[in-house]
Structure 1
Amino acid sequence: MELIFVKRSGKIDDLTIVREAGGRETISCPKQGIIPHEMVHYAVESVLAHRGFLSLVKDGKPAEFGTEGGDSEEAIERLVEVFQAELWGGRVPAADLVATYEHACEARGHSVAAISHADVGTIRHRLNELSRQWSAVAVNEDLKLRF
């Protein structure tokens, strides 16, 4: 599956998802001052062997806000949120990030996806690279990723 993130001048960027079978969907990505939320999903889901939003879309679910899966997909959503918060607020020790993630899962009543400190480092590295690439994208240009 190809992900085409397009930087726009307004408050919304675009993500076009090109499915292996040839179908295309475009969704809006509200600007956040960091990389798009779905790009954080890409960083997390491409490192971990756990299912989240992009995995659901790859399996044929519609790419829309509120696409829901099961317990494992919810666990990945919490992890994406924790990494996204770190992008906004600054890096914390890996142990603190994992503890925050575990607390968020517990508060929502679902399981925790296994994540090691090495995984945290790999995801952070991927997020840094995506952030660098996204900041170099001009308005109305794109960043293409394979998932």
Structure 2
Amino acid sequence: MLVTIMKGQSDDKITICRADGTTAAAQFPKKGPVPHDAVHLIVEEVLGLAHGFWGMIAAGHDPEEIQDIAKAAGHASAKRATAPGAEILELIQAERIVEAAEAALWSGGTDVEGMRDLAEAGCRASYVPVPPLSLAGAQEIMARVCALRDDWASAGIGHQLEHRWALT
């Protein structure tokens, strides 16, 4: 699956071309120094989470429907603090680690141990097991997220990041 993220003025755009030729597109507001869904690409790839956000997209889901799928499967929130369904386990794990990586990035991107601690706390609070996150894996995630930040910050409007998603 080919994922293209295009930098916009206030929103970024994603276009997806799946292995079977089907396509999808989405637009999302900026919420930090890098596109949130690009951090998902990094986290899910490094950790081999084939059924996270991008795995669900590769399987044919539209990006816009993922949040509703997560809610229907019992995504833990303050109002519904229960274990989520197995079908969204990796989705929730990925989201918690992405959030931890973004928090580490916002504070300079060098606190790998702090990122791991945040990821573990986030997974526990969401009632999902922490996926194996070695120090080397966390370092790779943060190195790639920091490189993305540096590239994205200097890129102009219209810049496109292309990534080939290979996990199935």
Q: CA RMSD in A?
A: 1.7
Q: Which runs of 5+ in 2 are unaligned?
A: 71-86
Given that 2:103 and 2:115 are in contact with CA atoms closer than 8 Å, whether structure 1 keeps it comes out as no
**Amino acid across the alignment from 2:132:** A
Deviates most, 93-102 or 109-118: 93-102
Matched residue, 1:55: 55
1:109-128 matched pairs, under 5 angstroms? 109-128=127-146
Given that 1:41 and 1:54 are in contact with CA atoms closer than 8 Å, whether structure 2 keeps it comes out as yes
Q: With structure 2 as the length reference, what TM-score do the two structures score?
A: 0.79
Q: Secondary structure in 1 aligned to 2:120? A: helix
Offset of residue 74 of structure 1: 0.8
Matched residue, 1:34: 33
Deviates most, 34-43 or 80-89: 80-89
Matched residue, 1:8: 8
1:58-137 matched pairs, under 5 angstroms? 58-64=58-64, 66=67, 67-68=69-70, 69-91=87-109, 93-137=111-155
Offset of residue 33 of structure 1: 3.5
Q: Number of aligned pairs?
A: 146
**Amino acid across the alignment from 1:112:** V
Return closer, same or farther for 1:109/1:54 CA change in 2, 3 Å cut-off.
same
1:63-86 deviation digits (Å, cap 9, x = unpaired): 125153422221111001111111
Q: With structure 1 as the length reference, what TM-score do the two structures score?
A: 0.89
1:100-144 deviation digits (Å, cap 9, x = unpaired): 211111112121111000001111111122223222332123121
Q: Which runs of 5+ in 1 are unaligned?
A: none
Q: Would you say 1:44 and 2:62 are equivalent positions?
A: no
- The separation in 1 between residues aligned to 2:23 and 2:154, in whole angstroms, is 25
Q: Secondary structure in 2 aligned to 1:45? A: helix
Deviates most, 64-73 or 118-127: 64-73
Q: Secondary structure in 1 aligned to 2:91? A: helix
Deviates most, 87-96 or 22-31: 87-96
- The separation in 1 between residues aligned to 2:147 and 2:121, in whole angstroms, is 28
Offset of residue 47 of structure 1: 0.9
- The separation in 2 between residues aligned to 1:24 and 1:131, in whole angstroms, is 27
**Amino acid across the alignment from 2:18:** R
Q: Secondary structure in 2 aligned to 1:70? A: helix
Report sequence identity in percent.
29
Return closer, same or farther for 1:93/1:139 CA change in 2, 3 Å cut-off.
closer
